[in-house]
A and B are shown apart, each in its own frame.
Chain A
Amino acid sequence: GAVVSQHPSWVICKSGTSVKIECRSLDFQATTMFWYRQFPKQSLMLMATSNEGSKATYEQGVEKDKFLINHASLTLSTLTVTSAHPEDSSFYICSAPRAGVNRGELFFGEGSRLTVL
């Protein structure tokens, strides 16, 4: 089946530093990828839609300058949390839809748990 790989799985950083999370579609091309944030015992909150070759579309309330998204190729999207603070600590998950039999089915990365000290 389709695989989406996310890296790193865990990251701990100091306050004020920037952290980059990568999301790769391993066996299909993804013109669109989604980035979510999830707090403990809560659902996925869509942060932004990453579009290959164009600017990302951010959901209301998500700071564009804080969460930089780059969709460099048809298989790679990156989320950079800039000048991270403890309140940015969370679980970040990417997903990509694939056209095909289960059109629209989302394939999820393994998630990245960010802890900002």
Chain B
Amino acid sequence: EDKVVQNPLSLVVHEGDTVTLNCSYEVTNFRSLLWYKQEKKAPTFLFMLTSSGIEKKSGRLSSILDKKELFSILNITATQTGDSAVYLCAVEVYKGNQFYFGTGTSLTVIP
């Protein structure tokens, strides 16, 4: 059974802290791994990763994939209150273009 697990489930930090969110997966026919940020409604796209070891970066956010150990991390440096959200990891598989979502990590950044 395909599985995507994120940890921690929730995290509370102070502004300025750096956080690392983890996503591990066990799927058949891996195609890509995606990170999303969900605030009140629909998730918004952050990164798509397909190759191991290549860091993707966008401002204070960065992410990397390890296809050997089957995990990805999402780093947020110098956190701000606006980073408070649920961060979702999804794995795309070739079969039927399916996407499987992880459990999500709820991040709260305190001023």
- Which of A's residues lie within 8 Å of B, judged by CB? 6, 32, 34, 36, 41-46, 49, 57, 93, 95, 97, 102, 104-111
Contact = CB atoms under 8 A, between A and B. Distances in A.
Contacts of A41: 86, 106
B96 interface: yes
B67 interface: no
Interface string B17-30: 00000000000000
B103 interface: yes
Main secondary structure, interface of B, reads strand
A101 to B, nearest CB: 10
B104 A104 contact: no
Interface residues of B, number: 25
A106 B100 CA distance: 12
B99 A110 contact: no
Contact of B97 (A32, A102, A110): A32
Contact of A104 (B31, B42, B86, B102): B31
A49 B102 CA distance: 17
Nearest first, the 3 closest Cβ-Cβ pairs linking A and B are A108-B42, A43-B104, A44-B101
Given A32-B96, A43-B101, 12 more contacts: A6-B42, A43-B104, A45-B101, A46-B100, A93-B43, A104-B32, A104-B34, A104-B92, A104-B97, A105-B34, A109-B42, A110-B42
A57 B48 contact: no
A95 B102 CA distance: 16
B96 A43 contact: no
Contacts of A46: 98-101
Interface in B74-89: 86, 88
Contacts of B100: 46
A43 B102 contact: yes
B90 interface: yes
Given A32-B97, A105-B34, A106-B99, A44 B88 contact: yes
